[in-house]
């Protein structure tokens, strides 16, 4: 095994204006509490027995795997939203599934879509869902804005 399997996870979200789209993304990461880490994007599983914890204050510059949705916009007054959902299985020896979604539109709609995505992903696996967690955020762009929702893993 090259990497250790994560044992903890948490959900966060953030939104920000920025000087450029990448600055807005950086600001959204900061607001989410993970702005001073090195996020490595991954597809999208919560390992079995991985525990939901309160957000962790990582050492600065730590390499941290995360599944996330992010959208930026430079259209003033546009509403953008991002959400993530985690579906956990009845069978504790099976893994959970993370889904990510971001789009123009308000938070409730994006959160509903991403929760449905997680439900559909568990149906595909023919696994019963024990718990469905989600987080979503919306933002009204001033000049250049970003929203981010993430499931962060740690071990």
Query: Can you tell me the distance from the alpha carbon of 8 to that of 155, in angstroms, rounded to the nearest whole number?
Result: 6
Contacting residue, 105, 129, 130, 154, with a copy of itself by CB under 8 A: 154
Does residue number 32 form part of the binding site for a copy of itself (CB under 8 A)? no
Q: Between 26 and 138, whose beta carbon lies closer to a copy of itself?
A: 26
25 vs 139, beta carbon nearer a copy of itself: 25
> How many residues contact a copy of itself, by CB under 8 A?
56
Q: Which of 113, 144, 146, 152 binds a copy of itself (CB under 8 A)?
A: 113
Q: How far apart are CA 122 and CA 105, in angstroms?
A: 25
Residues 53-112, interacting with a copy of itself (CB under 8 A)? 59-65, 67, 94-95, 97, 99-101
Looking at the annotation, which residues are catalytic?
38, 43-44, 100
CA 94 to chain centre: 21
126 binds a copy of itself (CB under 8 A): no
Pairing of strands 63-73, 129-140: unpaired
HSE at residue 16, side-chain half, CA atoms within 13 A, is 22
Residue 56 main-chain phi, psi, to 5 deg? -95, 140
């Amino acid at each position: 095994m090259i990497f250790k399997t994560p044992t903890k996870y948490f959900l966060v979200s953030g939104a920000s204006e920025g000087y450029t789209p990448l600055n807005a993304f950086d600001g959204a990461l900061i607001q989410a509490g993970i702005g001073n880490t090195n996020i490595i994007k991954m597809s999208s599983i919560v390992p079995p027995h991985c525990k939901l914890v309160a957000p962790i204050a990582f050492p600065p510059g730590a390499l941290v795997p995360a599944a996330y949705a992010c959208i930026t916009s430079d259209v003033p007054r546009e509403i953008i939203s991002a959400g993530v959902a985690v579906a956990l299985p009845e069978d504790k020896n099976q893994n959970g599934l993370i889904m990510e979604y971001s789009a123009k539109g308000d938070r409730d709609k994006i959160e509903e879509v991403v929760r449905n995505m997680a439900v559909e992903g568990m149906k595909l696996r023919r696994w019963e869902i024990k718990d469905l967690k989600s987080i979503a955020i919306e933002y009204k762009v001033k000049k250049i804005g970003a929203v981010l929702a993430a499931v962060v893993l740690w071990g």
